[in-house]
Amino acid sequence: MTISSDHNAAEHGEGRSLRRKKQIVDVSIDVFLFVVSILMLLPLVFLVANAFKTPAEMLAWPPTIIPRDPTLENFSAVLGETPLLRWIGNSLSFAVMSMIAIVATSAIAGYIFGKFRFRSMNVIFALFLATAVVPFEVYMIPLYFQVKALGLLNSTWGLLIGYLVMSFGIFLIRQNVIHAVPDELLEAARIDGAGEFWIFLHIVLPLLRGPLGALSVLAFFQAWTAFAWPMIIATTQSSYTIEVGLALFQTGFTVDLGRLSAASATVLIPSILLFVILRRNFVQGVASTGMKE
């Protein structure tokens, strides 16, 4: 009797120490991940902090993290002296138009590739996928000359030419059409005399709301952060996107780090907020890029 109860107590003690050990491990992992997260965010925090520093503090050594007497000087200077808002406007209209174009082309082509799987269709689809491997940078120079021939340099339309279709988007929608749009539903609608276009608009699209949402977020951010293409297409100050404008602004002769940071922060803060709001969509979209099998 005594032996077994001793044994029990020992086991109890062991269980408690195991639990304690697990708690210590959990807490230290949390601390580690927390530090990593902060380190990842730190550069952006620095940038936002710099935006509020006075020129004198900007030059102080050692550098400060939190501005001693925060000022809005940099923001008003940069908004007054550079067409920052215009550049943001250019980027915004480019990103929204690209998003609409990519969602439209992906929805239509993805649906047709998903539902009409003839041999010839599959060949064309394979071609779509194969070109997805080719990086944009490889063929952007000939594309530049096409845009030039159309007379669309320095315009949002010219920018848009490079971002009208997205192979991954077509692929994503096709997969979802195959798995989430039952043939029976379409057949039933056809028997009821519905037109193909009506079916697409009223039956197919609502079923694809999730993936289309994810795709729009991806497409928007893709165009919003584009760099090399706007760099060659938009060469006049009034047609710069925000990325190009900032990049060239920072190579100017009178670079003022405070103003530069203010300009950067003006761009960063809304896009981070937008991302945090749309995080679910975005993560879903990006995660599905990994699921190519």
Partner 1 sequence: MMAILPTLAIFAYVRLYPIVDTLRLSFYKWDILSKRKPFIGLENFRELMGDHLFQSALINTTIIAFGVLIITIPAALVIAALIFYRTRSRLSGFYETAVFIPHVVSLVPAAMAWKWIFDARLGPLNAALSFFGVEPQAWLFDPVLSVICIIVLCSWQALGYAVLIYLVGFKNLPVSLYEAARLDGASGPQSFWHLSVPMLKPITLYVSVVTLISGFNVYAQAFILASDAQGAPGRQVRVLVLDMLENSFRNYRVGYAASEAVVLLAIVLLLTLVQFGLLREKGKA
Comparing CA positions, the residue from 171, 201, 173, 199 lying closest to residue 187 is 199
Residue number with CB closer to partner 1 (12 or 280): 280
Site for partner 1, residues 175 to 214, rule: CB under 8 A: 196-197, 200
140 is a contact residue toward partner 1 (CB under 8 A)? yes
275 is a contact residue toward partner 1 (CB under 8 A)? yes
Residue at 213: amino acid letter: G
Contact letters for partner 1, residues 243-272 (x by CB under 8 A) = x--xxx-xxxx-x-x--xx-xxx-xx--xx
Smallest gap, in angstroms, from Cβ of residue 118 to partner 1?
Answer: 10
CA pair distance 279, 217, nearest whole angstrom: 9
Number of Cα atoms under 13 Å in the Cβ half of residue 80: 6
Q: To which residue do tokens 């100017």 refer?
A: 252
Comparing CA positions, the residue from 107, 281, 288, 121 lying closest to residue 204 is 107
292 is a contact residue toward partner 1 (CB under 8 A)? yes
C-alpha 68: how far from chain center: 34
Residue at 128: amino acid letter: F
Smallest gap, in angstroms, from Cβ of residue 1 to partner 1?
Answer: 30
Residue number with CB closer to partner 1 (1 or 133): 133
Smallest gap, in angstroms, from Cβ of residue 6 to partner 1?
Answer: 24
Site for partner 1, residues 76 to 135, rule: CB under 8 A: 105, 108-109, 112-113, 116, 124, 127-128, 131, 133-135
Return the range that interacts with partner 1 (CB under 8 A); candidates 12-20, 66-74, 179-187, 238-246: 238-246
- Residues composing the chain: 293
74 neighbors 51 (Cβ within 8 angstroms): yes
Smallest gap, in angstroms, from Cβ of residue 72 to partner 1?
Answer: 18
